[in-house]
Amino acid sequence: MALFLSTYTNKVDKKGRVSVPASFRAAIGGQNFHGIVAFRSYRLPAIEAFSIDRMERLSTSLDGLDLFSDAQDDLAATIFADSHPLPFDSEGRILLPKEFADHAGIRDEAAFVGRGATFQLWAPKAFAVHQTKARKRALEKGVTLRLGPPDKAGGETP
C-alpha cells in the first residue's frame, strides 16, 4: 500500500508543472498508472491526490451505495467527474490543471501534504493555517487514535 508521509514544498513553473516528491513517487511505484489521480477537495481549499489503486478502491466503495441515490450521485459528480489522471513526466513532474490550482490558491509553490494512504496539495501558507487550526481542534477535543491489529502478512496496518 502507498504511504505518504511528511510535507514538502516545491516550486510550480510557469507552465503549471510541479515536481512530485521522490518519496511520494516511490510509494506508488509498480502500479498500472505511472502518475497520480487528483480532484478538487469538496471540503477544503486543497487538491486530493491518490494512487490509481486507491481510486479503484474508492470506485468499489461508491458501488456499495444505492444506485441512483442522491449520495451516490453527489459523490460520483464531486469525486469521479472531477478527477484527472496526472502522469509523471520524465522528471517526475505533473501538470496541475488550472482549475485545480485556482481552487487551492496554488501559484508559485505547492505543498505536498502526506495523509497516510493519500496526500493533498495546498498553497503553503493556507496549509500552515489549516495545520495550526487542526492541531488546536485535536488538542481541545482530546483526539486519539487506536492502533489497528497487524495485517495478515504480520506487518502493521495503516
The per-residue pLDDT for 30 is 87
> Could you read off the pLDDT of 7-30 as tens digits, one per residue?
999 999 999 999 999 999 999 988
How many structural domains compose the chain? 1
Q: Is residue 109 a part of any domain in this protein? A: yes
Q: Residue 66 carries which DSSP code?
A: P
Residues 6+ apart with CB under 8 A from 21: 6, 8, 10, 112
Query: Do 127 and 8 form a contact (C-beta atoms < 8 A)?
Result: no
109-114 and 93-95: which strand pairing? unpaired
> Could you read off the pLDDT of 59-69 as tens digits, one per residue?
989 999 888 89
Q: Is residue 30 a part of any domain in this protein? A: yes
Q: Is residue 33 a part of any domain in this protein? A: yes
Q: What is the mean pLDDT of the chain?
A: 93
Q: Is residue 113 a part of any domain in this protein? A: yes
Q: Is residue 62 a part of any domain in this protein? A: yes
Q: Residue 80 carries which DSSP code?
A: I
The per-residue pLDDT for 153 is 60
CATH of the domain at 72: 3.40.1550.20
Q: Is residue 153 a part of any domain in this protein? A: no
Q: Is residue 123 a part of any domain in this protein? A: yes
CA distance 151 to 36: 25
The per-residue pLDDT for 155 is 54
Report in angstroms the alpha-carbon separations of 133 from 120, 129, 137. 17, 6, 6
Which domain range does residue 21 map to? 7-141
Q: Is residue 150 a part of any domain in this protein? A: no
Task: Please state the rounded mean pLDDT for residues 89-96.
Answer: 97
Q: What angle do CA 121, 59, 65 make, to 5 degrees?
A: 120
- Whether the model clears a pTM of 0.95, i.e. scores above it, the answer is no
